Structure 1
Amino acid sequence: VYEDAYIFADNLHRMGLMSGRDFDTYMSIFGLITNLVPRPDLLIYLKASVPTLISQIRRRGRAYEMNIDEQYLRRLNYRYDDWIEHIYRGEVLVIDKDREDFVADAAVMEKICARLDRKREELETAKK
């Protein structure tokens, strides 16, 4: 829900592919929805550079992704970083996909799971 509004819809609006009126309406509806749905206890942010994203897209081999513009990916990355750093107010666990390839290395996944367990314990302790 958050990504769609703050990253994708915002990006489409800035690219001129969504009118100001439509964007404002979308964000009003988003505001109503987010008031009804509790914020997640923890957001997991899979952060990746554009070269890593392109590599993953090519590796997946999905035809509809093959022509994604590199500049589009740069804009999305900027939007994600801005959202995480300045807008989102919840807890975030950042996984650096440039350095932590949990798909290729099971040991990396184990380390991430250990980080998640520690974070969960911190959050549970904070609630008490």
Structure 2
Amino acid sequence: MARNPRQIIEIDPQPGQLTNGNHRYIAVAGNIGSGKSSIVDFLCQKYGLEPFFEPNEGNPYLEDFYGDMKSWSFHSQIYFLAAKFKLHQELGALEHGVVQDRTIWEDAEIFAENLYRQKIMGERDYQTYRLLYESIRDQIRPPDLMLYMRCPVSTVKKRIASRGRQMERDIPERYLKRLHRLYDSWIENYTLSPVVIIPTNKLDYVTDLVDQHDILTTIEKYL
């Protein structure tokens, strides 16, 4: 069935499963340049949530990875896995609401998986990574709500170019397309919490009051 391209899509496999009183945990997932940081800022301003951002700046392997993915993929992904686990421990200890920019599930099911499928990460490194990830996965709390920022690659490319980050400048388009396909496949099979899919190339939640209202109304059904 055809959908309105502006439509916010809701997937609710576990209605009414919120936990920990006022400690609401929202996760924001999406491709590079899909609008994650903007929605995190917006939700923090609206609801007074504490933001937890992806530790890009602290990854000592990231620039090397973008320069030579095959040599540095395992190192970079292990760093992200360890950093995300630490973030999950920190947010799990809080008593107030939080919102997380990119999750540990994405690290494994999107980025590491893509590197393995493209033979950038070798079999031995991939199996070691999965062993560690699967050991961590069952020890962390899933979010109360997952927001998926769906965005076509053409828009993602424009956003990456406009923000001018040196290490992202030369990311191949085919790499972004593979990530996009993996994201769509992953979110279709994700069942740990309700999902709200936001078409970020169609909705302006930064300046458009109508779009802001629609998004907040949808989120508040779950929170």
Pair 18,89 (structure 1): closer, same or farther in 2 beyond 3 Å: same
Question: What displacement does 1:63 show?
Answer: 2.0
> TM-score, normalised to structure 1's length?
0.85
Alignment partner of 1:20 is 2:123: yes
Shift of 1:106: 4.3
- 1:82 alignment partner in structure 2: 185
In the superposition, the TM-score normalised over structure 2's length comes to 0.50
Q: Show the counterpart of 2:69.
A: none
Q: Report which of the two has the higher share of strand.
A: 2
Structure 1 stretches of 5 or more lacking a match? 121-128
Where does residue 111 of structure 2 map in the other structure?
Answer: 8
Q: Determine the C-alpha separation between the residues in 2 that align with 1:4 and 1:61.
A: 23
Q: Which structure dedicates a bigger proportion of its chain to helix?
A: 1
Contact 1:45 1:94 in 2 (8 A): yes
Report how many aligned residue pairs link the two structures: 119
The 1:65–1:19 alpha-carbon spacing in structure 2 relative to 1, beyond 3 Å, is: same
Structure 2 counterpart of 1:125: none
Tell me, which stretches of 5 or more residues in structure 2 are unaligned? 1-103
Cα distance, 1:50 vs. partner?
Answer: 0.4
- The alpha carbon displacement at 1:13 in A equals 0.7
1:49 equivalent in structure 2: 152
Closer, same or farther: CA 12–35 of 1 in aligned 2, 3 Å: same
Match of 1:36 in 2: 139
Of stretches 71-80 and 35-44 in structure 1, the one that deviates more from structure 2 is 35-44
Deviation at 1:100, TM superposition (A): 1.1
Q: Which has the higher contact order (CA 8 A, sep 6+)?
A: 2
Same amino acid, percent of matched pairs: 37
- Give per-residue Cα distances to partners, 1:91-116, cap 9 Å, x unaligned: 21111112112234344233212211
Q: Structure 1 residue aligned with 2:164, among 49, 54, 61?
A: 61
